[in-house]
Amino acid sequence: MSRLIGRREFAGLALATAFAGPALAQTAKPDLQNTLYLDTTYGRVVIQLRPDLAPNHVARLKQLSQEGFYNNVPFHRVIDGFMAQTGDGQYGNGTGGSKYPNLKAEFTQTPFVRGTIGMARSSSPDSANSQFFICFAPSSFLNGQYTVVGQVVSGMEFVDKLKKGPKEANGAVPNPDRIVKMQVAADAK
């Protein structure tokens, strides 16, 4: 039988939870089916996917990763202090996608913070396909307008090392860094 708890009990529960939280997080098993390993020449970036927010976009990233689509794909647009964009396995310059149809937007109010993975798109909300970006810094102006698919949980220091493009070229990177390999963690060898 459930009951309402009093203010004193709530305060005690909140305090216990605050101290137990980090310990519980350390012992929780990662969801390898919804984790991506994005290997760069600088090191491995671990991305926790969010199928609870964007199930169709997450499924696409996993499908393309399993097909090897992202291997050797450039970070074609990298803007210092904003984001690093990649995922054009067709042309490598930000104008291409995959052989699959575009996806319907799955916008949420989940904030774009440092390490957030969002799906790139054209001016049409339903035009995301294979390209995605990683935020270097909070970018609240994207909230509710781009699909959040995940969060970097380790390796952000390697994203920070990616070559940046010049401002006058809107971040287009000459001789860009590339994804060495991207795979679903459960499939990693």
Domain membership of residue 7 (yes or no) is: no
- Which tops the pLDDT comparison, 176 or 26? 176
pLDDT tens-digit series, residues 109-162? 999 999 999 999 999 999 999 999 999 999 999 999 999 999 999 999 999 999
Domain presence at residue 81: yes
Single pTM value for the model: 0.85
103 in Cβ contact with 60 (< 8 Å): yes
The whole-angstrom separation of Cα 140 and Cα 97 is 26
Distance in angstroms (rounded) separating the CA atoms of residues 127 and 83: 19
* Biggest CA-to-CA distance, the chain: 64
Which tens digit of pLDDT belongs to each residue from 72-102?
A: 999 999 999 999 999 999 999 999 999 999 9
The pLDDT of residue 26 is 53
Indicate which CATH number applies to the domain containing 178: 2.40.100.10
Is the predicted pLDDT of residue 27 greater than 60, yes or no?
no
The answer to whether residue 9 sits within a structural domain is: no
| pLDDT confidence bin for 14, thresholds 50/70/90 | very low
Q: Where are the beta strands (DSSP E) in 13-58?
A: 35-39, 44-49
- The count of domains in the chain is 1
Structural domain for 59, as ranges = 31-187
Does residue 8 sit within a domain? no
The length of the chain is 189
| Within a domain: 126 | yes
> Would you state the pLDDT for residue 60?
98
**Residue 144: HSE in the Cβ half-sphere, 13 Å Cα cutoff:** 3
Q: Which helix (H) or strand (E) holds 66?
A: helix 55-66
Q: What is the mean pLDDT of residues 177-184?
A: 98
- As a whole number, mean pLDDT of residues 46-67 equals 98
Q: Give a yes or no: residue 24 inside a domain.
A: no
| pLDDT bucket at 9, cuts 50 / 70 / 90 | very low
What is d(CA 121, CA 87) in angstroms, rounded to the nearest whole number? 11
